[in-house]
Structure 1
């Protein structure tokens, strides 16, 4: 080894990259994309596609003071995302506002002893037997008549609602109930729901008459007499029950009179038809795969896609004649061809 001066060796120098006391590491943008499945709401049928969730998160620069090479563990990334409230419009469920005896629900408004619209104890026509249209035929040369089938006439229901609102909102309250008790411009009937002694039943009706006593209006009170007319005299359970029939099934009507069901046929099927209580309901239509055909035996509506009228088959009974009598009823589904998707049958228990 060469020596200089006093014979001290010359040490070799290894040049290293200098350490930085301060450093910043930019992590860039985190982008997540998550596809949510559609929400399936059973009743009513609603699909809400949420689309693609896209998150972009910019990490702040990391400020580090280091003296030597180091590994910096970033730990676990935790994201919290608040979704905005979903605004979903669904049909109003009749009877959903009623919680106690003596309450009346009409056109999505509740009249209750607990609010300013208080039903009084003079409800009439709700539990009464409607008038009967006799099918008897007089005998021309004998006493009495030949017996025939009797049919119930329309039902009339009357009640008195006491408006109590001794406040500046009196006029608003009066106008609100007047608006609910004004006859409509067409044949539309609305759900009338009444609870008496723990039993809540539903009928469809229209306003027939109203009278507003004015003797106590000056002290914030008025008795409002209202009368409804229900073209269908039957009263129904709030809950609609149902079964799926692949080939055969049993429907149970716990009421005391026949009820008219709703039907939902699934394609593919040719001439979809059902047998129940000695009657056949059949339609002259061929359903394609994926098509859904809805029939309402109470209203007579028949809807498939954009088509709102489907003709009956030649041997079918009228839609309104297809009923489920009280008790158990066997139902058979037998289209001409297809029909693997079956038919759904829905009904409400029916009472007079």
Structure 2
């Protein structure tokens, strides 16, 4: 992604806005809130509704540009067309926009282009082009990814020995290691969590949201379990699907989020060894 100046747009490596032949005239759908889905349900025996949560719908971003390229107008329009093809696949590309000193990024698909060829254009006046992007995820992300690493639970020893003998000695439980992840935006964000073995039944607990990820498997020394809570994927060593190891003691993968502000995370396991840890990566999100 380019180092943007104010009122510039970087679409998949192509630059619009200040300092280019494509001056930004108007931007809609960027810092506006997206459409909302209201989870409220009507009350059956009285007025009103049972209040439900609000969820953001897909975001549509529309940019109005004035193409000021002088004698190179045709070349500028051809370059614009080449940079905004209609792609049949569902693959998204980064759309980054900087306004008032703040750069935010969203995954987007190009959704439309209007470049009017009218009488003023034929007389040499700069035409206004309208470009549109569809953003399935309405959250706007900080461009810089943050990360923390949480070490294996410390201490813990002993346990019941059989045959039982009185007085019983129960041993001590391991103390979880913790770290704080700060989401500086105003919307929940979904992290990517990488567990590194040796770990037995790894668990990551967000005590701020009281939600946890729990997996019923053993990770050998150096093995990784990569959990993408946005895509809902669980990959052993980055390749083998292990989503079926998710335990019902934790939440569904997509429900594990970082709330706005600080989130206190702890790594737990039934057993762990030297080098065991969890790495959490995230981008702060706003809506």
> In which range does the TM-score fall when normalised by the shorter chain?
0.7 to 0.9
Structure 1 pair 341/160, CA: closer, same or farther in 2 (3 Å)?
Answer: same
Match of 1:241 in 2: 146
- For the 8 Å contact 2:196–2:224, the answer to whether it is kept is yes
Question: Distance in 2 between the 1:336 and 1:299 partners?
Answer: 27
Match of 1:346 in 2: 281
After TM superposition, the structure 1 = structure 2 runs for residues 95-110 of structure 1, keeping only pairs within 5 Å, are: 96-98=2-4, 100-110=5-15
Deviation at 1:230, TM superposition (A): 1.2
Structure 2 residue 107 is the aligned partner of structure 1 residue 204:
yes
Q: Please give the TM-score of this superposition, normalised by the length of structure 2.
A: 0.81
Question: 2:239 aligns to what SS in structure 1?
Answer: coil
Structure 2 residue 181 is the aligned partner of structure 1 residue 251:
yes
- Matching residue within 182, 190, 195 for 1:265: 195
Structure 2 residue 86 is the aligned partner of structure 1 residue 183:
yes
- Structure 2: give runs of 5+ residues left out of the alignment: 152-176
Structure 2 residue 260 is the aligned partner of structure 1 residue 309:
no
- For the 8 Å contact 2:226–2:238, the answer to whether it is kept is no
Structure 1 pair 163/284, CA: closer, same or farther in 2 (3 Å)?
Answer: farther
Structure 1 pair 173/293, CA: closer, same or farther in 2 (3 Å)?
Answer: farther
- For the 8 Å contact 1:266–1:287, the answer to whether it is kept is yes
After TM superposition, the structure 1 = structure 2 runs for residues 9-48 of structure 1, keeping only pairs within 5 Å, are: none
- For the 8 Å contact 1:133–1:153, the answer to whether it is kept is yes
Question: 1:323 aligns to what SS in structure 2?
Answer: coil
Question: Distance in 2 between the 1:242 and 1:144 partners?
Answer: 44
- Matching residue within 190, 207, 229 for 2:134: 229
After TM superposition, the structure 1 = structure 2 runs for residues 74-89 of structure 1, keeping only pairs within 5 Å, are: none
Deviation at 1:181, TM superposition (A): 2.1
Question: Distance in 1 between the 2:83 and 2:232 partners?
Answer: 27
Question: Distance in 1 between the 2:69 and 2:97 partners?
Answer: 23
- For the 8 Å contact 1:270–1:287, the answer to whether it is kept is yes
Question: Distance in 2 between the 1:258 and 1:228 partners?
Answer: 22
- For the 8 Å contact 1:268–1:286, the answer to whether it is kept is yes
Q: Please give the TM-score of this superposition, normalised by the length of structure 1.
A: 0.67
Deviation at 1:268, TM superposition (A): 2.0
- Structure 1: give runs of 5+ residues left out of the alignment: 1-93
Match of 2:50 in 1: 146
Structure 1 pair 146/183, CA: closer, same or farther in 2 (3 Å)?
Answer: same
Question: 2:28 aligns to what SS in structure 1?
Answer: coil
- For the 8 Å contact 1:167–1:220, the answer to whether it is kept is no
After TM superposition, the structure 1 = structure 2 runs for residues 209-224 of structure 1, keeping only pairs within 5 Å, are: 209-215=112-118, 216-218=120-122, 219=124, 221-224=126-129
Match of 1:194 in 2: 97
- For the 8 Å contact 1:97–1:110, the answer to whether it is kept is no
Number of equivalenced pairs: 255
- For the 8 Å contact 2:17–2:65, the answer to whether it is kept is no
Structure with bigger RCO (C-alpha 8 Å, 6+ apart): 2
- For the 8 Å contact 1:97–1:105, the answer to whether it is kept is no
- For the 8 Å contact 1:119–1:161, the answer to whether it is kept is yes
